[in-house]
Amino acid sequence: MSDEFRDLLRKVGSGTHTSKALTREESARAAHLMLTQTATPAQIGAFMIAHRIKRPTGEELTGFLDAYNALGPRLKPVSGDRTPLVLNSPYDGRSRTAPIRPLTTLILAAAGCPVISHGGDRTPTKYGIPLSQIWQSLGCDWSTLTLEQVQHVFEQTHIAFVYTPTLFPLAHDLVPYREQIGKRPPLATIELIWCPYGGEALIAVGFVHPPTEQTAQYALNCHQTRRFIMVKGLEGSCDLPRDRTCIMGMGPGKPDTNGLPTVDRFFLRPKDYAFNHSDVVLEDEAKYLLQLEAILAREGSQESTEQLQKSVLWNSGFYLWQSGCCDDMGTGLALAHSLLSDGSALKKLKELQGAIASRLG
């Protein structure tokens, strides 16, 4: 048993009236003791559920992020004209709406914008389809690559996926606790803001609930993140919806009355660009994966495939714009359509397949 961790647990788990928030330093230490399994399983589970009931503060998330940055893998900075874009999502995947991240990634990379994502396999509590499985269905298996090999693939193709079970086992070893406590712990919010890249990056952060946006924003500001985008996306991802106005915040924004950075609120209306439609429902995973291939091969004719393609274009156009590949949303949509229709995205996929295969061979 860790006496040090017990003191931290006592502080957050003392009840509604007597529990206290941890300082940044205490939070970093608590996360370190959990990641390294210095704390016992009983202590870790108790901390997770107590902290979920208490709710994390921005200061605590800042400390958790300190520990992830200290213990987690980091890709080396790459040269180029474009700042890498880090697209973050909850690790427990998507179970209601169809994700389009890999295709968005291929279009962005075809435009010369480096893209980084991270995650693992099916994860509690939602057990949605993970990015790793989608990439595997497209012929890109990241699961056995070392960090050095991922670095080489990134430098060659402008695409990187940090597969955490292999490259960050300390974090992956905490996943079973989610199933055992039956809830996603506040520590999972770090998946939305952690950046496994050693240089300057533009970080896209998905969220559902306003408190998550506020605490994540606070942590990113404390870490002096040069630029980030908060996206009220589909199922907490940074995939933009098409069935409603997209609510986003660009940060760091203007200081509030206390002098603290905020986010500059931004709204994007799909109907202004004739892209409004119900978001594609994820009903059959096997069919969905075939639809992704059909979109890349420009063979999609069914209504659901056409709408999934429009979601790909909607998201790709936005991130092409925000990454500086074009000057506005309209131009971004046109560029995304061009890169998909002329086969550039499919060519990028084949390049990625070859780069990964060469490392494995």
Instruction: Work out the average pLDDT over 251-273.
Output: 88
Residues 6+ apart with CB under 8 A from 179: 124, 125
Q: Between these two residues, 276 and 17, which has the higher pLDDT value?
A: 276
Q: What is the pLDDT of residues 168-190, one digit of tens each?
A: 999 999 999 999 999 999 999 99
Peptide bond before residue 18 is cis, with ω within 30 degrees of 0: no
Which pLDDT belongs to residue 119?
A: 98
Going by DSSP bridges, is the β-strand pair 227-231/159-163 parallel, antiparallel, or unpaired? unpaired
**Tokens matching residue 61:** 């998330």
Q: What is the pLDDT of residues 338-357, one digit of tens each?
A: 999 999 999 999 999 999 99
The residue among 159, 162, 65, 179 whose CA lies nearest residue 112 is 159
% of the chain residues with pLDDT over 90: 91
Beta strands in 120-252 (DSSP E): 159-163, 202-206, 227-231, 246-251
**Tokens matching residue 308:** 């999934």
Going by DSSP bridges, is the β-strand pair 202-206/115-119 parallel, antiparallel, or unpaired? unpaired
Domains and CATH numbers, the chain: 3-54 (no CATH), 80-361 (3.40.1030.10)
Q: What is the pLDDT of residues 213-261, one digit of tens each?
A: 999 999 999 999 999 999 999 999 999 999 999 999 999 988 877 777 7
pTM equals 0.96
| From 45-49, 82-86, 152-156, 256-260, the region with the lowest mean pLDDT | 256-260
Q: Which amino acid is at 238?
A: C
> Residue 300: pLDDT band by 50, 70, 90 thresholds?
low
pLDDT at 137 over 90: yes
Q: In what order do the strands lie in the sheet with 202-206?
A: 159-163, 115-119, 85-88, 202-206, 227-231, 246-251, 264-268
pLDDT at 262 over 90: no
